[in-house]
Amino acid sequence: MEAVQQTAMPEASRRMPASRVIGAYWTEMRSECIRYLRAPGFMLPVMLFPTMFYLLFGIVMNRANGPDALRYLLASYGVFGVMSPGLFGFGVSLAAERDNGLLTLKRALPMPPGAYLLGKMLMAMLAAAVVIMLLLAMAVGLGHVPVSGGQAFLLLVTGMLGVLPFCALGMFVGTLVKGQGAPGVLNLVYLPMSFLSGLWVPLSMLPSALQKLAPIWPSSHLHAVALRAIGLGQDPIGTHLLVLAGIGVLFGVLAARRLRRVG
C-alpha cells in the first residue's frame, strides 16, 4: 500500500526543494573555485603569461609609441589572457575527469546536472576577471595608460562574459580527447588562434589571405569588442556579440550531445 501511495504522489512533491537545489549549485561552484585556487600549476600560467607579455611587449618595448599603442595591447593581451581559463579550465579538466571517472561519479550524485558545468563557468569567469584586473593595474600603474573608470569596467565585463564561448569550445575539445592529450590539442587551438586573430601582431601586418580568415576565430570578435570597450574601436559590436553568442551555443550543444552519448 505504501508503495502504491508513493507511486501516486504528484511528481512535484518528489522534487528536490528549491533551497537544496540552490545549495547544491552553491556547493559545487564553491568547491570548483577552491579546487583551482589550490592548483598553482593551472592558476599561475593563466595569470602570469598575459601579464608578462604585456609588461615586456607592451609597456617596455612599446612605451615610446604612445598611449594608444599601450591601450591596444591592453585589449589584445586581455583577450589572450581570457581565452586560457576558458579553454584549459574546461578542456583539460573535463578530459581528465572523464578518464579518471570523476565525471561519472558526479553524474551519479543527487545533484542538479548543471551544477558541475556552472561551477566551472564561474571559475573561468573569476580567473578572467583577475587577469583583466592585473593587466589594468599594470597599464595604469606602470604604463600610465589613460583608462577611465567606465572603460576599465567595460573591459572587465567583456573579459568575464567573453570567456564563455571559449568555455564551450574547451568543453567540446575535452569530450573528444583523452586527458593526457588535451593540453597539446588545446595549445594547437589556443596559440594559432591568438596569432591569427591579431592579438600578437596587428592584422594589418599579416598577409591578406590570413586577414580574410580572421572572422572565423572567436578571439577576433572578442578582440573587436575589447577594443571598443577601451575606446579604440569604431565599428558596431552587435555582429561580434552575436557571433560570440552563436559560437558559445553551438559548441555547448555539441559538447552536451557528446557527453550524453559517450560520457
DSSP string, the chain: -HHHHHHHS-GGGGSPPHHHHHHHHHHHHHHHHHHHHT-HHHHHHHHHHHHHHIIIIIIIHHGGG-HHHHHHHHHHHHHHHHHHHHHHHHHHHHHHHHHHTHHHHHHHSSS-HHHHHHHHHHHHHHHHHHHHHHHHHHHHHTS-----HHHHHHHHHHHHHHHHHHHHHHHHHHTTS-TTTHHHHHHHHHHHHHHHTTSSS-GGGS-HHHHHHGGGSHHHHHHHHHHHHTT---S-SHHHHHHHHHHHHHHHHHHHHHHHHH-
Full domain range(s) for residue 118: 18-262
Query: Could you tell me if residue 210 is inside a domain?
Result: yes
Residue 3, pLDDT score: 46
Q: Which residue has the higher pLDDT, 101 or 86?
A: 86
Q: What is the pLDDT of residues 32-75, one digit of tens each?
A: 777 777 766 667 777 888 888 888 888 887 776 777 888 899 99
Q: Is pLDDT at 253 greater than 50 in this prediction?
A: yes
C-alpha cell at 249: 551555443
Residue 8, pLDDT score: 45
Angle subtended by helix axes 238-262 and 149-174, to nearest 10: 30
Query: Could you tell me if residue 6 is inside a domain?
Result: no
Query: Could you tell me if residue 59 is inside a domain?
Result: yes
Structural domain tally of the chain? 1
Q: What is the pLDDT of residues 112-151, one digit of tens each?
A: 667 777 888 888 898 899 999 999 999 988 888 888 999 9
Q: Which residue has the higher pLDDT, 247 or 208?
A: 247
Q: What is the pTM of this model?
A: 0.84
Query: Could you tell me if residue 97 is inside a domain?
Result: yes
Query: Could you tell me if residue 2 is inside a domain?
Result: no
Q: Which residue has the higher pLDDT, 254 or 14?
A: 254
CA-wise closest residue to 50 among 174, 173, 120, 155: 155
